[in-house]
A and B are shown apart, each in its own frame.
Chain A
């Protein structure tokens, strides 16, 4: 799986858009970008994933650059409850053989300020 690089921490004002960057310059053509978050020692929660097109769901938007070497997770209107560690993970879909499971790095600690 390709390695990802994320800032250790970020602040964002409540009500503003939170933009979390992730670099994955060694991503392969069949690898997806996944985002999870973990709120204070709870189990990680899936947010969104994508391959090359931008994606949006009820929680967030995922913007992937054209060369796919970086991406940005956008929380459009951050609330205090969005304070969490956000993990960017790159991995090919598992389709038989080899290791399974996602690899979680240290992520970005996003702090939403009131």
Chain B
């Protein structure tokens, strides 16, 4: 089983619908991230969380919200989806190794979202 699991893997929805993408991890990491990738582009950070009580906005948080239900679960919501949110979404985790985070991220397999 994958260490970082995303559901659903593929979703087609209509403009204005509420969508939730879920991420769960078995790595025991405190830090979790949501990234978005558009065709031909790199990954952009949407939100990140250091622990259950600590949520932070990333580069492109407008139109998104997140919930950290437990150490192992981090959900991304689109309250009212729009077509330009069509993208590939990745969840990732990392370990906080003492005072220094070495920066290694562990990614899920991605959730492909299409908004019509």
User: Are B106 and A101 within 8 A (Cβ)?
Assistant: no
Which residues of chain A come closer than 8 Å to B100, judged between CB atoms? 93-95
Q: Which of B42-50, B64-72, B76-84 is near enough to bind chain A?
A: B42-50
User: Are A95 and B90 within 8 A (Cβ)?
Assistant: no
Known: A93-B101, A93-B103. Contact between A100 and B48, CB under 8 A? yes
Question: B92 interface residue, CB < 8 Å from A?
Answer: yes
In angstroms, how far is the closest chain A Cβ from the Cβ of B58? 6
User: Are B42 and A46 within 8 A (Cβ)?
Assistant: no
Band of interface residues on B: 20 to 34
User: Are B45 and A101 within 8 A (Cβ)?
Assistant: yes
Q: Interface residue count for A (Cβ, 8 Å)?
A: 25
- Of A43, A94, A95, A100, which contacts B107 at CB under 8 A? A43
A residues within 8 Å of B by Cβ?
Answer: 32, 34, 36, 41-46, 49, 87, 91, 93-96, 99-107
Total cross-chain contacts (CB, 8 A):
70
Q: Interface SS of chain B: helix, strand, loop or mixed?
A: strand
Q: Interface SS of chain A: helix, strand, loop or mixed?
A: loop
B residues within 8 Å of A by Cβ?
Answer: 4, 31, 33, 35, 40-45, 48, 50, 56, 58-59, 88, 90, 92, 99-110, 112
Query: Which of A49, A99, A105 has its CB near the most chain B CB atoms (within 10 A)?
Result: A99
Query: Which of B43, B99, B106, B110 has its CB near the most chain A CB atoms (within 10 A)?
Result: B43
In angstroms, how far is the closest chain B Cβ from the Cβ of A107? 7
Known: A41-B88, A43-B4, A44-B43. Contact between A102 and B103, CB under 8 A? yes
